[in-house]
């Protein structure tokens, strides 16, 4: 359960951060955020390129990604809301599976008897 809480916290933090950076705003704001992220990540990607024995592709410039962002924007929003609509059922299933896993633990069975 702690592991799930940590993962959920990290996911919520990531969503909050990208929201604050402007990813979910107008496409021009998203492009600015992409450029900012690209600039921030380039030194780290460069370091990783030196350590990996094969060639990594360069991060595309924002002028090339403009078309992709516009094409996939609606798909991303739709997928996000589909996930959010399915989330209550998923959490219910995960909770049920977690409780069953805990109850199947031999030490927990001893405590319950």
In the prediction, which pLDDT does 111 show? 84
In the chain, what are the domain boundaries? 2-112
Most confident of 11-25, 44-58, 95-109: 95-109
pLDDT reported for residue 62 = 63
State the pLDDT confidence band at 87, using cuts at 50, 70 and 90.
very high
Q: Which residues contact 108 (CB under 8 A, 6 or more apart)?
A: 102
pLDDT, position 63: 65
Residue 100 — pLDDT band, cuts 50, 70, 90?
very high
Return the structure tokens found at 70: 């516009």
In this prediction, residue 95 has a pLDDT band, given cuts at 50, 70 and 90, of very high
**Is the whole model's pTM more than 0.85, yes or no?**
no
* Residue 60 falls in which region: left (phi positive, over 0), alpha (psi -120 to 50) or beta: beta
Per-residue pLDDT tens digits for 23-71: 666 767 777 777 787 788 888 877 877 777 777 676 666 666 667 776 7
**Better-scored residue on pLDDT, 9 or 26:** 9
**b vs e for 34-44, b when ≥16 Cβ sit within 10 Å of the residue's Cβ?**
beeeeeeeeee
């Amino acid at each position: 359960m702690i592991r799930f809480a940590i993962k959920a916290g990290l996911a919520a933090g990531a969503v909050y951060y990208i929201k604050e950076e402007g990813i979910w705003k107008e496409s021009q704001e998203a492009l600015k955020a992409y450029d900012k992220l690209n600039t921030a990540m380039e030194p780290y990607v460069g370091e990783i390129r030196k350590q990996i024995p094969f060639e990594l592709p360069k991060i595309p410039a924002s002028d090339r990604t403009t078309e992709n962002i516009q094409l996939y924007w609606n798909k991303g929003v739709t997928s996000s809301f589909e996930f959010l609509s399915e989330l209550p059922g998923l959490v219910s299933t995960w909770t049920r599976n977690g409780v069953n896993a805990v109850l199947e633990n031999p030490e927990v069975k001893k405590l319950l008897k």
